[in-house]
Amino acid sequence: MDFTLTALPAAAPPDFDDVIDVRSPAEFAEDHIPGAINLPALSDAERAEVGTIYVRQDRFLARKIGAALVSRNVAAQLEGPLADRDGGWRPLVYCWRGGQRSGSVATIFEQIGWRVARLEGGYKAYRRKVSERLYEMPLGLRLVLIEGGTGTGKTQLLEHLARLGTQVIDLEGLANHRGSNFGGWPGGQPAQKMFESRLAAEIAALDPARPVFVEAESNAIGRLLLPPTLWTAMNAAEVVTLRAPLAGRARFLTTTYPDLTADAELLRKRIETMRPYQPADRIAAWHALAAEGAYASLAEGLIAHHYDPRYRRPTGATRHEIGSVEMTDVSDAELARAAEEIVKLAGPSD
């Protein structure tokens, strides 16, 4: 049977036990339905081989070789990752456009006795829904931006807000990046399409009648761009500003960038990225502080001379500020208190 995607799901459709993506590993790595399992009908090399035979030699031969490869791969999956699935298992299977790969796998599953469904239109139909949601439709959510200088703990504040039962979107978490020259996380960032899939799934799960708290960002987080629907809504959103003393912000940064303080060469490279924006003597001084292990002093210098001036809003910039919260330090207790104040400032849901 075919399953039609009438709306973008917040998670895997509830009528199915698993969503199975039978595309190649490279296709899956670029983007997939969040929560899907990759059980490729063809490997990357096999897909390339069959495609070349199809285009340059003979279509019948390509289909014959492809069928043999798919059969062997599915057999390995039945004896491996699918070995524990019982007779009541209900999978939803998809490939690029709901064609031969998902059809071949679904046929084998059906012969086993599983009630399998195929996603009509495949990944291509799913991607079209994501694009509509993020590029064409208005967001339809009441956003409240958390704004504040580097080191004010905005990302951690979102965690405290979530513990209070509020709705949050952690853009930096979805992008696997801390949103600055020093912000890359181990493992790197997802592809743009995968970032958008994660974002679209989160948006689909939100209640439009309740406020949604989001950290204020530029239109890019690392190399990933915020889609226009979200960026437009962020520019029109209400704003709460978080403030804390410089020394407290610097101390906080030394605890939130452990990958940099533990890797002298990585820290040196990140300081070098500041060279186009800072004088040579200041870069040299920062390198000296890093070599001494004076990380709090280094963080103070970076905040005072780079981040605060660079990200300060221009005078007269349009904004809808609904309040600000002053913290005496950037600690877990202060962030918890700030979260409670921000919920009060945002007021009741509509």
Catalytic machinery residues = 95
Q: At what angle do helices 332-346 and 154-163 cross, to 10 degrees?
A: 70
The answer to whether residues 131 and 199 touch, using CB atoms and an 8 Å cutoff, is no
The answer to whether residues 158 and 42 touch, using CB atoms and an 8 Å cutoff, is no
Q: Could you give the CA distance from residue 142 to residue 243 in angstroms, rounded to a whole number?
A: 23
| Contacts (Cβ under 8 Å, ≥6 apart) of 117 | 1, 2, 3, 16, 90, 91, 92, 93, 106
Q: What is the dihedral of CA 254, 260, 261, 263, to 10 degrees?
A: 180
Three-point CA angle 209, 210, 213, nearest 5°: 140
Nearest to 193 by CA among 227, 231, 169, 218: 227
CB burial of residue 333 (10 Å; 0-12, 13-18, 19+)? exposed
The answer to whether residues 219 and 234 touch, using CB atoms and an 8 Å cutoff, is no
CB atoms within 10 A of CB 8: 19
Q: Please report the sign of the dihedral spanned by the C-alpha atoms of residue 119, residue 121, residue 124, residue 130.
A: negative
